Structure 1
């Protein structure tokens, strides 16, 4: 026998699914108005301006540490350039995973729906973003910084076994922290104009991606089976730990002439860095808490990642 509670839940679920198409239509309209071609929009040939940063200094991992105070201004700026390249490299890795997750999400859905049309539009955006990040790395003459072998393997496993709500939770994790940092970067006149241009394009287009993922995840946490919801809580906690570790590639310290072990230790001990990461994640963790993702063992894993206070 169906209880009144079950009937109410099903009614709410149907309402959420109906809203899916309305959200997708609005996002498609926004995409038509505010999409960019980085190859045309940005001046890739302009020289970098002397003395300008490649990432706001307050967001550089060593900011405020004893090692930071001993570094020259030139070395600090060099570190900001290498960290910007490492974040662009991380962004490419993550967006390649996201593209695969989106393709899996729409595989068995009505290809004529606006929801699927927007997913395909987002895939187009992510392809452009990955090419834009790669061009920025190459333009700065810095190395490409791939994630380590363990994280690369975990990424391969995650994109294979992830459920739909798990995929959208990971999407938000990868997008919202970097988005918060980029929102501080593109208006910052201390930062190189090319970097500001790249982050501006990414922020504008990622705002749609975040809306799409949030709305779908909210629906999924109502409609998905209980086992899928529990699995999402655990996998998102593990991915939070992976992502927080991968956010800085230790090779950047070696490449600018710093002692890697000492630098890593000081970043781990830095209260400022911990506050930056938790502040960047707060909008996301508040949302995940509200829709029931941050519960049980998964919540403990989020705490251990350093992204949840």
Structure 2
């Protein structure tokens, strides 16, 4: 896999980094005390807003019983959390590598370590939520796991932070809906709220790092980086919902996978969730050529 960052690493504005660091000091959460882990699980409440289910709006969804819908959304939510944990571990390694041998007195350095600490808490929070709901950790495919070994080891600059931004932004709108939806389990609403608040700083940091890395970048480099980021997006989106979630709800897996793949409602929800992301990547010159075709196929454009 080809890296795309320039040898001399550009630095982000210290004013921005300091502001993010101050925000983390005043607006951070401890999931061990913020989440009511002992609250009973109402059998009628979903794991995610029904409209965000991969099958919502399909004839198959219409045939499902209310119990099947609850089961499916709970398993879909945990599938997303499993993939989230996987990518958060990738993110931590990339950020730590970007900070290696950096000036520790800079706010950029301190916020980078703060982000890693946040992600550690988030991963534990999601793991505990899955444990509380009694749903297995589905995780990404073996192919995705192996491909990511190269990405997390070699990607730098805009290629690293672009992948980070994709993972964070695609889930942001989704979780904003979940945290406000009374039909969703309280444990999911609270964990979503914590994640949304703290990830907003991470997204700002990733955008600033990308802009700094791309200063003076050639059109050819932007094309290469944009293509790599789009490939990463394809892997992330393709692993959000594990096929086994359909079996857990008593559905025929092959039928359900086909229905989800051709579901125009879910495609529209994905486009809505990625609108700001696509706008930013386009402004950075990272949505040209192959990248645009990949995003269109993923329903992100």
Q: Contact 1:151–1:242 (CA<8 Å) still a contact in 2?
A: yes
Match of 1:9? none
Runs of 4+ off more than 6 Å: none
Residue aligned with 1:201, SS: helix
CA distance in 2, matches of 1:307, 1:298: 11
Pick aligned residue for 1:199 from 192, 199, 207: 192
- Which structure's CA Rg is the greater one? 1
| CA–CA distance in structure 1, aligned partners of residues 250 and 66 of structure 2 | 14
What SS is found at the alignment partner of 1:247? coil
> 1-side partners of 2:255 and 2:170: how far apart?
25
Correspondence 1:166 to 2:177: no
1:137-182 deviations in Å (ceiling 9; x for gaps): 0000011111111111111121122121101110110001111100
Of 19, 40, 45, the residue aligned with 1:26 is 19
Report the 3-state secondary structure (helix = DSSP H, G, I; strand = E; otherwise coil) of the residue aligned with 2:292: helix
For residues 101 and 289 of structure 2, the distance between their equivalents in structure 1, rounded to whole angstroms, comes to 31
Q: Does 1:51 align with 2:44?
A: yes
Who is 1:4 aligned against? none
Note the C-alpha offset of 1:298.
Answer: 2.2
- 2:125 match: 132
**Superposed displacement of residue 227, structure 1:** 5.6
* Paired residue secondary structure (1:222): coil
CA distance in 2, matches of 1:250, 1:283: 28
Q: Is the 8 A contact 1:67 1:263 kept in 2?
A: yes
Corresponding residue for residue 208 of structure 1: 201
Residue 156 (1) aligns with residue 149 (2): yes
Q: Deviations over 1:2-30 (max 9, x none)?
A: xxxxxxxxxxxx9x84x521111000110
Bigger proportion of residues as helix: 1
Question: Does residue 297 in structure 1 map to residue 297 in structure 2?
Answer: no
Q: TM-score, normalised by structure 2?
A: 0.94
How far residue 96 of structure 1 moved from its aligned partner, in angstroms, is: 0.2
**Is 1:75 aligned to residue 68 of structure 2?**
yes
How far 1:226 moved relative to its partner? 6.0
Is residue 2:176 matched to residue 1:183?
yes
- Give the equivalent residue in structure 2 for 1:5: none
| Structure 2: runs of 5 or more not aligned | 1-8
In 2, are the aligned partners of 1:166 and 1:231 still within 8 Å (CA)? no
* Greater RCO (CA < 8 Å, at least 6 residues apart): 2
Whole-Å Cα distance in 1 between the matches of residues 185 and 197 of structure 2?
19
> Given the alignment, which residue of 231, 237, 258 partners 1:238?
231
Q: Which residue of 2 aligns with 1:40?
A: 33
Q: Is the 8 A contact 1:240 1:307 kept in 2?
A: no
TM-score with structure 1 setting the length:
0.91
**2:91 alignment counterpart:** 98
Query: Structure 2 CA distance, aligned partners of 1:33 and 1:49?
Result: 33
Aligned length: 294
- For residues 289 and 201 of structure 1, the distance between their equivalents in structure 2, rounded to whole angstroms, comes to 29
Q: Partner of 1:86: helix, strand, or coil? A: helix
RMSD: 1.7
Deviation (angstroms), 1:263: 0.4
Gaps of 5+ in 1: 1-13
Distance 1:223 1:51 in 2: 54
